Amino acid sequence: MSLLVIGSVALDTIETPFGKVQETLGGSAVYFSCAASYFTDVSLVAVVGEDFPQKHLDILKKREIDTSGLTISPGNTFRWTGEYGFDLNEAKTIDTQLNVFEKFQPALNEKQKTKDFVFLANIDPDLQKSVLHQMQQPKFAASDTMNFWIERKNASLKSLLKNIDTLLINEAEVRQFGQEANIFKAARKILSWGPKSLIVKRGEYGSLTFHEHSIFSAPAYPLEMVFDPTGAGDSFAGGFMGFLAKSGKLNMENIKRAVVFGSVMASFAVETFSLERLANLDENKIFKRYRELHKMVCFEDFTD
Amino acid sequence: MSLLVIGSVALDTIETPFGKVQETLGGSAVYFSCAASYFTDVSLVAVVGEDFPQKHLDILKKREIDTSGLTISPGNTFRWTGEYGFDLNEAKTIDTQLNVFEKFQPALNEKQKTKDFVFLANIDPDLQKSVLHQMQQPKFAASDTMNFWIERKNASLKSLLKNIDTLLINEAEVRQFGQEANIFKAARKILSWGPKSLIVKRGEYGSLTFHEHSIFSAPAYPLEMVFDPTGAGDSFAGGFMGFLAKSGKLNMENIKRAVVFGSVMASFAVETFSLERLANLDENKIFKRYRELHKMVCFEDFTD
């Protein structure tokens, strides 16, 4: 089934303990659509400025991502500058220049409105709601958010939750949003506000998925070298939704598989800067890591 | 098969955000042997002072733990005072009184020397080595340690590793011992020093087990209320070794199961102070959590 993502396209300047890169291709919609493109057709709705380099567009086109929803507005592209220390779990933002992204008002065309699966990447929850209202009953809608919106637009975020299937947020945000130190209590509270499932991203510790009365725990793929964690969460979301959209089935068994593909795609994203690795994969490489994760967590139940 | 543990028996005074308890039964050998006692026969080698309360002994005897190796020495029992904040992953030590534990020199009797499985809880690595030398070729030996010994007795610890099967330590200690920020690199280095496997305890994030060329990731059992984390690691070790000793098989499939029983036993330990819950279980309760963890992590591999 077809998949739509609304989010950011950015020029990232990043420093990690292992290197530095300037104005490389980044943004939530970019990582998401690239990861999802291995599973299904993806269309992207986002905005860039007139300075956006053609070579970056070419990367997306090579992955056959539908960029017809990428508006080129007068002005400059959104820029983010960040750095990571040896604790790669946390980015330090050095500079943010919203530029054309500040006035981003996503308007869907008729084709985009009829997509079956939609991912609302981390933007203002009022914008996420406006996108959702434009859609004609998507089969599955998921959203991301961040501490900034949990603080500033709490009510708006809660009202969005009534209409989405899955919320993906990180561990600290779950505690903050649910106002509970215990993650399981916090998750239960957030689920009571509407979404059918909640995926808690825990960085190197993997993820916890809460769906109806089930919990699924998945590890991160083991990597001896994490080069740059930027885009891990959006690549996870892309693998997750890409697989779900491909299969179309929304039962727990399939959600589990989708989460594991999320882990796999995130692992490729963090091995290099930008999309260097994520944009150059094939099915064999992806399935290999999926099988390795299977071996890494499954054990026999002999107690019945 | 029979199981022997060498470690501490302590009187713990603990404060957590949920309550306070004074001079309750604690110590590594206590949590370990209580957790293991649901799986196999356990003998304990430790020392207490003349002040050690009979009621605490009764708890161990009720679990049919062989306490004939518990020496009562002139003086006072080892006392530990600690507190936890809402971040239950880290204990703050307020006071330590080693008392009779300071001169602890475990001497095994003929029966103890022939045990098949031995756990060397967190004590001076020179003492751990001396115990191991007294044993007559145990089938399986595992040990714990801590940052203090990694700093002060590094060479001694490394030489111990040549003769043990499994080292269990926490995540920060793996990084410290292996001198690598990346946990997989650190684990590989530690394994090169001798042990067949390494179990990395990650608190609420579960554990990673490295065995030959395999990695097994197990989550912590999901709890909405962690009351007191004291003893979690030793209870984990008790479940792990108790199950291994019971089954006697040391292949990867069995090690995986043993680790999951470790998670289960740790989860019971942290739900109350001391052994309140851990000493009052039955096979049904233990197997129920094992099955729940199975459901929580296993997923289908459909990619072959």
**pLDDT tens-digit series, residues B68-113:** 999 999 999 999 999 998 877 788 999 999 999 999 999 999 999 9
Contacts of B301 in chain A (CB under 8 A): 290-291, 294, 298
* pLDDT tens-digit map of A21-78: 999 999 999 999 999 999 999 999 999 999 999 999 999 999 999 999 999 999 999 9
Structural domain contains residue B145: yes
* pLDDT tens-digit map of A251-297: 999 999 999 999 999 999 999 999 999 999 999 999 999 999 999 99
H-type alpha helices, A135-251: 147-152, 154-161, 171-178, 183-191, 232-247
Handedness of CA B271, A207, A14, A142 (dihedral sign): negative
pLDDT at A87 over 80: no
Q: Output b/e per residue, A189-228; b: 16+ Cβ within 10 A.
A: ebbebebebbbbbbbbbbbbbbbeeebbbbbbbbbeebbb
Mean pLDDT score, B6-16: 97
User: Looking at CA atoms only, how far is residue B87 from chain A in angstroms?
Assistant: 8
By percentage, how much of chain B surpasses pLDDT 90? 95
Contacts of B223 in chain A (CB under 8 A): 182, 184
**How many folded domains does chain A comprise?**
1
Say what the pLDDT of residue B303 is. 78
User: Looking at CA atoms only, how far is residue B118 from chain A in angstroms?
Assistant: 25
Structural domain contains residue A275: yes
A46 φ, ψ (degrees, to nearest 5): -165, 180
Is A291's CB within 8 Å of B298's CB? no
Structural domain contains residue B302: no
Nearest chain A residue to B203, by CA: A205
- Mean pLDDT for all residues in chain B: 96
CATH number for the domain spanning A82: value is 3.40.1190.20
Count of CB pairs separated by less than 8 Å, A with B: 97
Query: Residue A140: which domain range?
Result: 3-153+226-297
Say what the pLDDT of residue B302 is. 82
CA angle A95, A101, A105 (to 5 degrees): 155
Structure tokens at B168: 């269990």
- How far is Cα A255 from Cα A65, in angstroms, rounded to an integer? 24
* Count of other CB atoms within 10 angstroms of residue A185: 17
pLDDT at B304 over 70: no
Is B182's CB within 8 Å of A218's CB? no
With residue A3 as reference, give the H or E element that holds it.
strand A3-6
Is A225's CB within 8 Å of B297's CB? no
User: Looking at CA atoms only, how far is residue B217 from chain A in angstroms?
Assistant: 5
Structural domain contains residue B244: yes
Structural domain contains residue A177: no
Is B257's CB within 8 Å of A300's CB? yes
Residue A91 pLDDT level (bands cut at 50, 70, 90): confident
- How far is Cα B189 from Cα B232, in angstroms, rounded to an integer? 26
Residue A90 pLDDT level (bands cut at 50, 70, 90): confident
Residues of B with CB under 8 A from a CB of A: 86, 181-185, 188, 202, 204-206, 208, 214-219, 222-226, 253, 256-257, 260, 287, 290-291, 294-304
Contacts of A219 in chain B (CB under 8 A): 208, 217
Contacts of B188 in chain A (CB under 8 A): 224
* pLDDT tens-digit map of A148-188: 999 999 999 999 999 999 999 999 999 999 999 999 999 99
Is B297's CB within 8 Å of A298's CB? yes
With residue A265 as reference, give the H or E element that holds it.
helix A252-269
Is A86's CB within 8 Å of B181's CB? yes
Say what the pLDDT of residue A198 is. 98
* pLDDT tens-digit map of B44-73: 999 999 999 999 999 999 999 999 999 999
* pLDDT tens-digit map of A112-135: 999 999 999 999 999 999 999 999
Say what the pLDDT of residue A304 is. 66
Say what the pLDDT of residue A129 is. 97
Mean pLDDT score, A198-206: 96
Identify the residue among A287, A299, A302, A303 best suited for mutation to test binding to B, counting B beta carbons within 10 A and taking the highest.
A299
* pLDDT tens-digit map of B168-224: 999 999 999 999 999 999 999 999 999 999 999 999 999 999 998 999 999 999 999
Structural domain contains residue B303: no
Mean pLDDT score, B150-154: 97
The DSSP output letter for A272 is S
Say what the pLDDT of residue A125 is. 97
**Structural contact between residues B267 and B221, judged by C-beta atoms closer than 8 angstroms:** yes
